[in-house]
Structure formats: structure tokens, C-alpha cells
Amino acid sequence: MTTGASQARPGTAEEPAPISLLWPAGSPRAARAGLPLPGDSAADLQLTEIVRVLASGEGRASRRDHRERLVRQTLTELCTDPAVIAYRQEVVEELLHDVPLRERLALVLPDLDALAETLPSSRFQPADDGAVQRIARQLGDLELFVDVARQLERALEAGTPRSIALQALREYVLAVTGAPAFVALEAELPGLRETLSQARSVTVGINLSPDLVPESATILGLSDERIEGARTLLARLLGGIDAARGITPLQRGGASNGFTGPPNRLTRDLHRLLEEVAAPVGRALGRYAALPIETLTGIGPELALLMNGALLVERLGRAGLPMCRPTILPAEDRVSAIDEGYDVSLALRLHRQDGTPASSSDSGGSASNGAEGIVTNAITFDDASGRVWILTGPNRAGKTTYTRAVGLAHVLFQAGLYVPGTAARLSPVDAIYTHFPSREQAHPGMGRLDEEAERLAGIFQRATPSSLVLLNETLAGTAASEAEALARDAVRGLRLLGARAVYVTHLHNLAVSVDELNATTPGSSLVGSLVADADDEEAMGTGLQHRRTYRIHPGAPRGRSFASDIARRYGISYPQLAALLRERGVTAALAENGAVEDTVTTEGA
């Protein structure tokens, strides 16, 4: 048997060249991928929900784990080759629109997953596994291989695929099923199975002494029928002899070779007998050891990923959320343009497959108008509008969600999948760097500012003009005046670098000075100001409040974080605290003296 997809041999007359639904022929993976997405960036972007959805499917936990590893690898390796991205996009588009083809292939997926477990590298093989058991398992593996190949042949022959990848898979399967070795194996398998089936049970004769002590035993014969159940001696005497039923309950051996206890002459004789039965089957199977089972084992997880990518488009579409196939632009253009973009991870949490309503923790202060909807926003990085954006606005107004949406759009795009939005034009990025300090804890001996500065320095040491940099409240671990000076230098460095970047901050003066930053810093990447908007509205009894719209658009900062809204929400504004303490009687004496006044505090900057 073969040893694994990673060791596939070159195609021969008997074995076609290996096929992949993710990598076109002649596209080595190592030469087509950017820098892997670091673990902290994957956590900042909240990839877990997307991985779970794209790896979903029925089957054993081991099969789901195999799918999940492939999905996570595909999402985080950030493929930069437009040809590879388009190769995958075509499959998703075809599976999305050709529902009959998708349904036919879905029927094959469970057996493809089962076939993936036939490889020695992915199955558990006990050290004491006997030759007979290995031969029996190899026979089952080859039977499954033949069945899966024929299923794929029928699924792909029912209609001619349009995508290059599925066309290549169809040609590969036809080459496999048309090979003389495959045809010979298919014809020989029933006879080999019949040969093994003649040893379904063994009849053993045991001689007893006059006092019923076992004295000797011998094997009387093999049968192609199993001995079933148990019958009492009286039932056998009254009901006639039934050789297919036993007197005592059937016992199952606990060891992998089927026997328990130390070997004895009887078990050794039985081993030799079974080996004689299985030997011709083993010799026959040896002639088919070169069949390309390992290539088809890799198709299952790849097909599941792309099929789930198509199903994701349908699922979010039913929730009224658009997804589109992005137009691929040259990497040197450094353009990211999406109409009506949104955070797909948030959308999946708010619109669960089972219809379960999202909890309050699902939104996490995100750009959502509640569980029933997601607010979409334009995403634009280019020469004309801006490539380095300073994003300001109220607390919990969608700034983090917008920033995450930018990163997730590129992760999905470069995996060859559709992205959230009605239209998209994207240049691949060679890396995504994130800095969401809220996820971090300072190392011993380091303050928050030290750690933020260290991580920011690391980004500038690795990032290129083709990178994407997402900074969320970076350099907030110090006084505002010091933070502003440090942030100005960081933004000027991003303009010099030329990378696409979003810098979320409450330093409104930084956003006010974008014209000055552009004028005093060389570079082709304009610095611009984005604002998370909010509408003013009057609320009776509580003074002026603000309704967050979760709309992100270019504009001057409003100069306030609306922290008083959050204070009122949690009941810690001054009027609310004064009323609470008065109700508790804590400030009764002060109230009598007129020392407590229910004045409404003004908005802070």
C-alpha cells in the first residue's frame, strides 16, 4: 500500500499525475504562499467560527479534525498567486450554481473521508497486528478505493464540469478507472472477498476426560457462516441439532489479533490455517500496491472545503447578507475595494445555522443592529482615497468589527473563497499583521506600553508595501500626550512603508492632522481619516444620548468617545449614582443640606 499524499510518485502509464482541487498542476505550494498568519493574528481576526463552518460535515471526529487542519492551513497560508486563487474561485462558483453537481459530489464525500483513513500514516495500527488482519484490511481499503473512484466517475460524467480543477479531477478519475490495473483489480475483488469469506468461523473439537477435564483439542474445519447466539443444552436436545448456533454466548477477543491469553498449540495452528487461507489474497493484493489511493484521499477534505465555501454563500444569502467573487488585481496595485463589506465571523455568530438566537456576548460591541441584522460598510484602500486610515469614533460603534472585516476579507479572498460584500476588487497581501492589545497580557517586567512598542517594532521589521497592518488602540498604554507623539511616528512610518493599514484610536487630534502628516511625510500612500458615525437624539429624562449607526465613512473625527453613553448604560453616570445612593440612604443627610444635586454631566472629549 502507498504511504501518503505527501510522497506521491510522478505519474506513469499506470498512475496519472496527482490532482489537487486547491493547487493547479505545476504550482508548488511553497512558492505560492505568503507569510503564514501568526496565531495571535488568527485570534484577533476570530478565525475559529469560520474554520468550524468551512470544516463542517458528518463523520468521525478524526475526519473532522483532518478537515479542520486543512481549512486552517488554507486560510492562514495567504496564497498570493492570482492563478491559484482563481483556480479555487472557479470551483466555488461552479458548486454554487450547479446544484445537481454539488449534490452528486456531496454523496461521495463520506466515502472520500473514509478513504482518507486508509493510509498507514493516518490509521492506528497496533504493533501486534497479524498478517491476516493486515490482508483483510487492505482488501477492504481497495474495495473502498474502487467504489469511490466509480462514484466520482458517475458524479462527474453526469455533466461536464466547467472549472479547470473539476475538469482535471474528471480526467484523473477516468484515467484511474480506465487503467488496466484498476480494471483487473475490480474484476478480481469479488473472488478475493469470497476467498476470505470462507473463514467466517472455525469449528474446534475438544476431548474431555471422564471427570469433564479438557484433555486435548483440534480444529475440525472452517466455515463461511458465523456461529450465532447461544442455546441451552435442553433446547438443543428437544429442538434438534443446529450447528450454526452455540451453547454458550459468543466471546470476543480483546487483542488486535483476535486472541486473548498466551499463545498455545491450538491458537498457533489456527494462525497457520488462516494464513494459508489469506496468503493467496495477500499475493494478489500485492500486485495492486502501486494504485494511487493516496491522491484520492486528499481530494475529500479539499472538496469539502470548497463545497462548504459555496454553502456559506447560500447560508448568508438567506440571511440577507451578500457575498461575491472578488476580482483579482495585481499585488503591486495594493488595492482593496469592497462594496457593502462586513465581518463574516460576526455574521456567522449572529445568524447561526440552527436558528438559535445569538447571546449578548456574541456581538461583543460590534457593528450590529442586533441579532437580526449586520450593518455593511464600504472598504477602500487605493492611491486616490487613502491607504493608511486613522479610524476614530464612539466606544462600541463598530471600529474593531470594521477592522476585523478588512482582515477576514483578505483571508477568505486568498483562500480562493467568496468575500462578504456585493462587489470586490482586491490585490493579494503578502502578510497580515494585527495588534489588538486587549487580547494581550504584559510579560513580567514589561508594562503595556513596552509590550505594545515591542510588537509594533516587530511589525515594521517584517512588513512590506504589500502587507496589511491592522492596529487596534495601539500605544494606548501611556498618557494621551505621549501616545499621540508615538502614534504620529507610527502613522508616518506606515505612509513611508506604503502598506494598507487601519489604525483604530481615540486620539482624535491624530486624525485631525492627516493633511499635515501627508504634507510632511514622503510616500505614495495617503493617510486618511475614517469615522464611526453616531446620530444625536433626545431621550426624555436622561439628557442627550447618541444612537450608534455603525456606519464607517471618510470624514473628520467628532472629537468624543461618548463614554457617557456607556456610563448611563451601566448606571454609573453621576445623576444615576446620586439617585442610587440617595435611595440607599447613604446620602440622605447630604440631600437634606442641599449638598447633592442631580445635574447632568457634560460629554467628555
Strands 228-230 and 245-246: parallel
> Which residues, in sequence order, are CB contacts of 501 under 8 Å at separation 6+?
387, 388, 389, 468, 469, 470, 471, 494
How does pLDDT run across 234-245, given as a tens digit for each residue? 555 555 555 556
Locate the DSSP E strands across 213-277. 214-223, 228-230, 245-246
Angle at which helix 180-197 crosses helix 164-178, to 10 degrees, equals 60
> Which residues, in sequence order, are CB contacts of 124 under 8 Å at separation 6+?
none
pLDDT at 12: 40
371: confidence class by pLDDT, cuts 50, 70, 90: very low
Using the predicted structure, report yes or no on whether residue 196 has a pLDDT greater than 60.
yes
d(CA 346, CA 98): 28
Q: Where are the domains of the chain?
A: 198-263, 324-562, 571-605
Q: By the 8 A CB rule, do 242 and 231 touch? A: yes
pLDDT at 436: 85
d(CA 391, CA 400): 9
427: confidence class by pLDDT, cuts 50, 70, 90: very high
- Taking CB atoms within 8 Å and a gap of at least 24, the contacts of 264-267 are 266/204, 266/217, 266/218, 266/219
Locate the DSSP E strands across 178-234. 201-208, 214-223, 228-230
- What residues does 424 pair with on adjacent strands? 338
Using the predicted structure, report yes or no on whether residue 323 has a pLDDT greater than 80.
yes
* Three-state DSSP state, 547: strand
3-state SS of the chain: helix, strand, coil percent to 5? 45, 15, 35
256: confidence class by pLDDT, cuts 50, 70, 90: very low
Looking at per-residue pLDDT, the higher value among 216 and 586 belongs to: 216
pLDDT at 421: 97
pLDDT at 350: 85
Using the predicted structure, report yes or no on whether residue 382 has a pLDDT greater than 80.
yes
The arithmetic mean of pLDDT across residues 135-140, rounded, is 85
Q: How many CB atoms lie within 10 A of CB 519?
A: 8
pLDDT at 249: 60
Q: By the 8 A CB rule, do 219 and 270 touch? A: yes
> Which residues, in sequence order, are CB contacts of 139 under 8 Å at separation 6+?
189, 192, 193, 196, 281, 285
What's the chain's average pLDDT?
78
Picking from 553, 263, 598, 221, the residue whose alpha carbon sits closest to that of residue 389 is 553
Using the predicted structure, report yes or no on whether residue 362 has a pLDDT greater than 70.
no
How does pLDDT run across 450-492, given as a tens digit for each residue? 777 788 888 888 899 999 999 998 776 555 667 788 888 889 8
Q: Structure pTM? A: 0.77
The CATH T-level fold of domain 324-562 is Rossmann fold (3.40.50)
Strands 468-472 and 377-381: unpaired
Using the predicted structure, report yes or no on whether residue 313 has a pLDDT greater than 90.
yes
Using the predicted structure, report yes or no on whether residue 108 has a pLDDT greater than 70.
yes
d(CA 320, CA 308): 18
pLDDT at 164: 96
How does pLDDT run across 293-308, given as a tens digit for each residue? 888 888 999 999 999 9
pLDDT at 117: 75
